[in-house]
């Protein structure tokens, strides 16, 4: 019996379960900057090794950039812009500069392997991060293939000049360009894979040597081709108008992804907060100056209409100016080394992007497995190399270059937004580099990226739309459920 005035016993109520995050909230979940930095270098089975200094990071930037626009894509851009291709390089370089400033700030603040993917994850949420990462896969993976295609052209020039033989078109050009299978393109990707499997420090050493060779080759070209300049080759300066210059600039923007490759080395840099911003800005200045110099000399030495369809234009100019095959052979040898370094460093960047996405659970764990002895994501490197090699062997260069440009521009646009967002949400964070006149400069960088994207052909936008649709299917079918942030909520 209850005593008078006593309260009746109550049945304990179960504690309410925490509310499940809504669909929209799950798409917008962010990964804290501190967690991104704390996980730096950690992979399944081992860790990446911090072995790269500022000089090596700068060489990675130059290695990934210098060569693509001059040795390969120049023949694609000159028919659009004419002698004004130098203006196209400047436009593409300025567009890259505004985005490079944003990259420099974020690389010093969030020094991780994921580059703009990780920056987006910390500022704009998981869905945007996935979209950015998917663009980076297009940017890096496809650009490896595009550059590898051009490598085969210069290899044939070298073989013809030294041994008097060439690889048959059936084995040196992709379907649609008169061939069946581009064997040289596959070969250079596999050689780069072998270097990467040896370790980041060893790969960086090989890249530094190759960068020295390519700079020497371009200086040699300028010295020799300068003697063949004719003033009449510069007129009409802008034969297809500003539209042609803009279209060429959009294609050439493909040549400015090197500083992005440096940002993917954030977890293997000795002092990333200090060295990454410096390496990014220094490499962009060096590369832009060389691009403009070589382009100005090239269009002065050869009428612009004769560039159409040429993927080894500089070697042809050397032979025409001197009347001797020796100089063309020497340049072709330099180009073979130069383009190989681009393949090496961009392939490196692709593997590190997938490493970061895998660590976050958005792609399978195999991509973040690190070999304990070499500190290299070995399975990741092999899978990516084989994919890029087959792509290079089967797809024509022009389509690859434009697809890379649109993926690059989209990712860079997101980085400019990320700087503004992080300034507003985390204003007190330590920053070793700050974009001047923010948010004005990031807004300009964002607008320039959109403008150059608008200059690309409709077919490129269709390919990009299909690529994005496939990426979203993969995210909602796999990444959204397997994300480490999602599993932590359960």
Contact 430, 101 (CB under 8 A): no
Evaluate the omega torsion of the peptide bond into residue 470 and state whether it is cis, within 30 degrees of 0: no
* 218 or 311, greater pLDDT: 218
Short-list 324, 319, 286, CA closest to 301: 319
Res. 2: pLDDT tops 70 = no
Task: Look at residue 1 and tell me whether its pLDDT is greater than 50.
Answer: no
Q: Determine the angle formed by the axes of helices 126-162 and 116-123, rounding to 10 degrees.
A: 170
pLDDT tens per residue across span 255-306 = 777 777 888 888 888 888 888 899 999 999 899 899 899 999 999 998 888 8
Specify the higher pLDDT residue, 278 or 338: 278
More confident residue, 246 or 489: 246
Distance CA 91, CA 87 (A): 6
Mean pLDDT of the region 127-138: 89
Q: What pLDDT is recorded for position 490?
A: 54
CA quadruple 288, 293, 296, 302: dihedral sign? negative
When pLDDT is averaged across residues 29-40 and rounded to a whole number, the result is 81
Look at residue 309 in the predicted model and tell me its pLDDT: 63
Give the model's pLDDT for residue 11.
47
Q: What is the pLDDT of residue 3?
A: 46
CA 300 to chain centre: 30
Q: Which residues does residue 269 pair with via DSSP β-bridges, in sequence order? A: 52
| Neighbouring residues of 354: CB distance < 8 A, sequence distance ≥ 6 | 137, 363, 367, 377, 380, 384
Q: If pLDDT is split at 50, 70 and 90, which confidence band does 472 have?
A: very high
Confidence at 108, pLDDT banded by 50, 70, 90: confident
pLDDT tens by residue, 79-94: 889 999 999 998 888 8
Q: Give me the residue label for tokens 């420099």.
A: 104
pLDDT for 369-381, tens place per residue? 888 877 888 999 9
Residue 16 in this model has a pLDDT that exceeds 60: no
**What is the distance of C-alpha 29 from the center of its chain?**
26
Please give the Cα distance from 328 to 326 (Å, whole number): 5
Asked whether residue 154 carries a pLDDT value surpassing 80, the answer given is: no
What percentage of the chain has pLDDT greater than the value 90?
19
Determine the distance from the C-alpha atom of residue 465 to the mean position of all C-alpha atoms in its chain, rounded to a whole number: 19
The 10s digit of each residue's pLDDT in 404-452 is 778 888 888 999 999 999 999 888 888 889 999 989 999 999 998 888 7
Mean pLDDT, rounded, of the chain = 83
CA within 13 Å, CB half, 263: 31
The interaxial angle of helices 200-225 and 183-197, nearest 10 deg, is 130
Contact present, 424 and 124 (Cβ < 8 Å): no
């Amino acid at each position: 019996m209850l005593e008078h005035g006593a309260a009746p016993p109550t049945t304990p109520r179960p504690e309410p379960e925490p509310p499940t995050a809504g669909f929209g909230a799950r798409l917008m979940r962010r990964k804290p900057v501190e967690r991104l930095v704390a996980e730096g270098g950690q992979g399944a089975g081992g860790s990446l090794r911090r072995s790269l200094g500022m000089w090596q990071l700068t060489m990675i930037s130059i290695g990934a950039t210098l060569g693509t626009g001059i040795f390969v894509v120049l023949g694609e851009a000159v028919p659009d812009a004419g002698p004004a291709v130098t203006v196209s390089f400047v436009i593409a370089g300025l567009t890259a500069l505004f985005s490079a400033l944003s990259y420099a700030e974020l690389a010093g603040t969030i020094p991780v392997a994921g580059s703009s993917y990780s920056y987006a994850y910390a500022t704009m949420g998981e869905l945007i991060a996935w979209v950015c990462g998917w663009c980076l896969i297009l940017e890096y993976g496809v650009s490896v293939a595009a550059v590898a295609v051009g490598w085969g052209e210069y290899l044939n020039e070298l073989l013809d000049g030294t041994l008097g033989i060439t690889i048959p078109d059936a084995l040196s050009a992709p379907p649609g360009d008169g061939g069946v299978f581009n064997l040289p393109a596959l070969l250079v990707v596999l050689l780069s894979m072998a270097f990467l499997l040896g370790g980041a420090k060893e790969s960086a050493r090989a890249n530094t040597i190759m960068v020295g060779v390519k700079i020497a080759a371009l200086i040699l070209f300028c010295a020799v081709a300068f003697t063949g300049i004719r003033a009449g080759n510069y007129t009409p300066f802008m034969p297809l108008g500003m539209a042609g210059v803009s279209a060429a600039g959009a294609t050439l923007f493909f040549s400015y992804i090197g500083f992005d490759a440096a940002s993917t080395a954030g977890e293997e840099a000795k002092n990333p907060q200090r060295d990454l911003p410096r390496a990014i800005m220094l490499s962009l200045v060096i590369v832009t100056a060389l691009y403009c110099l070589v382009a100005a000399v090239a269009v002065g030495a050869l009428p612009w209409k004769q560039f159409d369809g040429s993927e080894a234009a500089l070697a042809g100019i050397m032979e025409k100016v001197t009347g001797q095959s020796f100089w063309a052979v020497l340049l072709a040898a330099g180009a073979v080394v130069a383009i190989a370094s681009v393949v090496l460093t961009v392939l490196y960047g692709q593997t590190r992007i997938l490493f970061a996405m895998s660590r976050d659970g958005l792609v399978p764990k195999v991509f973040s497995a690190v070999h304990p002895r070499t500190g290299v994501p070995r399975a990741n490197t092999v899978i990516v190399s084989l994919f890029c090699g087959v792509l290079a062997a089967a797809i024509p260069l022009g389509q690859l270059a434009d697809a890379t440009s649109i993926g690059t521009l989209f990712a860079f646009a997101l980085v400019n937004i990320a700087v503004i967002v992080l300034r507003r949400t985390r204003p007190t964070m330590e920053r070793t580099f700050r974009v001047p006149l923010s948010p004005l400069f990031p807004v300009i960088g964002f607008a320039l990226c959109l403008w150059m994207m608008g200059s690309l052909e409709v077919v490129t936008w269709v390919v990009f739309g299909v690529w994005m649709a496939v990426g979203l299917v993969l995210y909602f079918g796999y990444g959204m459920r397997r994300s480490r942030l999602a599993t932590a909520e359960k």
